[in-house]
Chain A
Amino acid sequence: SQTIHQWPATLVQPVGSPLSLECTVEGTSNPNLYWYRQAAGRGLQLLFYSVGIGQISSEVPQNLSASRPQDRQFILSSKKLLLSDSGFYLCAWSSEDTEAFFGQGTRLTVV
């Protein structure tokens, strides 16, 4: 069966520090991969999606970047965090138009 792992679950980082959030998927090949951010009291904002290794589409210009070094690995990064980067980050995968499966999320607090 397919599973998705996202870590860490919580993270507190100072302003200006780097960020690396990792997401891996098991049990499927060539999944579509997504990073979403959910700010407090707000909806789900699509940040990046990827249809294959090295293929990244950015939805919103911002302080973040994403990479897909392997088929089932999706990494969200920042060189210097801003206070506004705080939020709940969710990784997800899907195949074609089937349902998306979400990780448990990472709560990032930038202080």
Chain B
Amino acid sequence: GDSVTQMEGPVTLSEEAFLTINCTYTATGYPSLFWYVQYPGEGLQLLLKATKADDKGSNKGFEATYRKETTSFHLEKGSVQVSDSAVYFCALYQGAQKLVFGQGTRLTINP
């Protein structure tokens, strides 16, 4: 079945460091791909998305490119801030109206 695999956390960085959170997926066909963010005690919010190969989603300085050849959708940010501390989830949506999430990666940014 469809699945999403994220890099293991937690990830701890210093402010202004470069961030990469890896995400790979397994799916038949061409799913839509998403990154969601969950701040402490809250539900999830959409961070960015891409719906076809080579699309780049971007928001709040975060970027991710839909790579069909490597079945990946890695999240990147050039300079992280303390306020970026949260749990990040990679997800895919394909057919069957089923939205599947990765296991989440906890990110902590130290000042």
Which A residues fall within an 8 A CB radius of B? Answer: 6, 32, 34, 36, 38, 42-44, 46, 49, 51, 57, 90, 92, 94, 96-97, 99-100, 102-105
6 nearest CB pairs, A to B: A43-B103, A102-B43, A44-B101, A99-B46, A32-B97, A97-B32
Given contacts A90-B43, A99-B34, A102-B45, contact A43 B102 (CB under 8 A): yes
Flag whether B22 is at the interface (Cβ < 8 A): no
Please give the distance in Å from B5's CB to the nearest CB on chain A: 10
The reply to whether A46 and B43 contact each other, CB–CB distance below 8 Å, is: no
Query: How many residues of chain B are within 8 Å of chain A by beta carbon?
Result: 24
The reply to whether B42 and A105 contact each other, CB–CB distance below 8 Å, is: yes
Which B residues fall within an 8 A CB radius of A? Answer: 6, 32, 34, 36, 41-46, 49, 51, 89, 91, 93-94, 97-104
The reply to whether A103 and B43 contact each other, CB–CB distance below 8 Å, is: yes
A-B contact pairs, 21 of them (CB 8 A): A42-B103, A44-B101, A44-B103, A46-B98, A46-B101, A49-B98, A49-B99, A51-B97, A92-B43, A92-B44, A92-B99, A94-B93, A94-B97, A97-B32, A97-B51, A99-B34, A100-B36, A102-B44, A103-B43, A104-B42, A105-B43
The complex places the Cα of A6 from the Cα of B43 at a distance, in Å, of 10
Complex: chain B residue closest to A49, CB-CB: B98
Please give the distance in Å from A35's CB to the nearest CB on chain B: 11
The reply to whether A104 and B43 contact each other, CB–CB distance below 8 Å, is: yes
The complex places the Cα of A69 from the Cα of B104 at a distance, in Å, of 31
The complex places the Cα of A96 from the Cα of B94 at a distance, in Å, of 9
Given contacts A104-B42, A104-B43, A105-B43, contact A43 B104 (CB under 8 A): yes
The complex places the Cα of A102 from the Cα of B99 at a distance, in Å, of 12
Chain B residues near A99 (CB, 8 Å)?
34, 46, 49
Given contacts A44-B89, A105-B42, contact A100 B99 (CB under 8 A): yes
The reply to whether B104 and A100 contact each other, CB–CB distance below 8 Å, is: no
Chain B residues near A46 (CB, 8 Å)?
98-101
The reply to whether A100 and B103 contact each other, CB–CB distance below 8 Å, is: no
Given contacts A44-B89, A99-B49, contact A94 B44 (CB under 8 A): no
